[in-house]
């Protein structure tokens, strides 16, 4: 019997059993969340149990993401870039250079926090906090596997996009409050970029919503568990990346602009505007900006996994492991783009967004709606 890939990553027979499982998962409503599991394990009930379970669950998810970011920023980014450019990168501090993470943390956090004259406080102080906070908030509705989801509201995917978009407020605050022309230019560029690419991003995601028929992230994942086609005895899962590869490519392109990676790293373009919105930041504030940037990359990878790659679905390995693998795969892709794809000009960036991505995303949405209407 051909296996299908379920959310837990466990193969099950195709046919009636698969259809029944999908129908049950969709009809049953919200899945058991991580806070519910934790409060049940601790024997806590009621509002107090919900609060304790939520706090512990949020602490665990946040620390997992912070740990992944700590590995990605100081170490993996350098190693991957070095591999692409035929260099060695960090290799002298600890095994494989891994202790560069600790060294960089000590180096950056021990630097003096320089506060330029004329900055607008407290906006200047709040801006670096908003970026990592908005990205971590988006992970509240991301399913990492069976029972590994902080919350599963009916509008889960909308919440994720809304939380991620809060970062734009932080970028504007940083650019305006810094009392620096380069910072202000970076902030204005970030707003122009987000406006041009967030609309195609959401519209492309809407085409997936049409297929799945729900905004709930767990149900979007469950809708992709059916087998799309069987080739030579191998079951190809019904992931929306296979069902609609055009939307998959569109979403990745718009996502790259949202996280500010090449060829769309215009808001902080070092060769043009020093460091953009973060020009006047140092020490722990500088760390917070980069922390937010890398967490947003992983959030982008998580959204791609949920919408197009079956979420935590995968063979043999646990669902959580597959979810992490998919997020790291997107991170690897962003680092390849950073090394291989040249930056576009600001006018080109805006033109691609408004004249290209927007038109293509609406065309994809209309075509998807027509196809689903005909098939249904």
- Mean pLDDT, rounded, for 112-128: 84
Beta strands in 139-226 (DSSP E): none
Per-residue buried b or exposed e for 109-134, using 16+ beta carbons within 10 Å of the residue's own CB: eeeeeeeeeebeeeebeebbebbbbb
- Mean pLDDT, rounded, for 214-228: 89
The pTM of this model reads 0.86
Spans of all domains in the chain? 121-375
pLDDT value at 88 more than 90: no
* pLDDT of 61: 93
Burial class (CB in 10 A: 0-12, 13-18, 19+), 374: exposed
Q: Is the peptide bond before 130 cis (omega within 30 degrees of 0)?
A: no
Confidence category of residue 202, pLDDT binned at 50, 70, 90: very high
What is the tens place of the pLDDT at every residue in 264-315? 777 676 666 766 777 888 888 888 988 888 999 999 999 999 999 999 988 8
């Amino acid at each position: 019997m051909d296996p299908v890939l379920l959310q837990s990553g466990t193969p099950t027979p195709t046919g009636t059993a698969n259809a029944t499982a999908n129908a049950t998962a969709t009809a049953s409503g919200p899945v058991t969340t991580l806070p519910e599991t934790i409060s049940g394990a601790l024997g806590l009930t009621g509002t107090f149990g919900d609060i304790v379970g939520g706090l512990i669950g949020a602490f665990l998810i946040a620390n997992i993401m912070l740990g992944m970011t700590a590995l990605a920023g100081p170490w993996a980014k350098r190693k991957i870039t070095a591999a692409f450019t035929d260099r060695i990168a960090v290799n002298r501090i600890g095994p494989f250079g891994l202790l560069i993470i600790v060294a960089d943390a000590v180096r950056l956090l021990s630097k003096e926090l320089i506060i330029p004259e004329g900055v607008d406080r407290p906006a200047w102080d709040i801006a670096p906090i908003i970026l990592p906070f908005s990205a971590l908030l988006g992970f509240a509705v991301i399913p990492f596997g069976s029972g590994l989801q902080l919350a599963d509201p009916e509008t889960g995917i909308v919440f994720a996009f809304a939380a991620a978009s809060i970062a734009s407020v932080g970028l504007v605050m940083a650019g305006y409050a810094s009392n620096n022309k380069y910072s202000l230019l970076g902030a204005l560029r970030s707003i122009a970029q987000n406006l041009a690419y967030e609309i195609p991003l959401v519209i492309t995601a809407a085409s997936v919503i049409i297929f799945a028929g729900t905004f709930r992230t767990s149900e979007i994942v469950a809708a992709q568990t059916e087998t799309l086609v069987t080739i030579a005895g191998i079951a190809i899962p019904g992931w929306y990346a296979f069902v609609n590869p055009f939307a998959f490519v569109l979403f990745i392109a718009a996502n790259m602009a949202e996280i500010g990676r090449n060829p769309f790293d215009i808001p902080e373009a070092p060769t043009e505007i020093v460091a953009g919105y973060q020009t006047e930041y140092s020490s722990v504030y500088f760390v917070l900006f980069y922390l937010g940037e890398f967490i947003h990359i992983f959030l982008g990878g998580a959204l791609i996994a949920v919408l197009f790659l079956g979420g935590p679905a995968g063979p043999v390995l646990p669902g959580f492991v597959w979810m992490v693998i998919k997020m790291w795969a997107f991170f690897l892709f962003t680092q390849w783009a950073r090394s291989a794809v040249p930056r576009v000009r600001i006018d080109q960036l805006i033109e691609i967004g408004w004249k290209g991505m927007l038109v293509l995303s609406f065309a994809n949405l209309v075509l998807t709606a027509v196809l689903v209407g005909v098939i249904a």
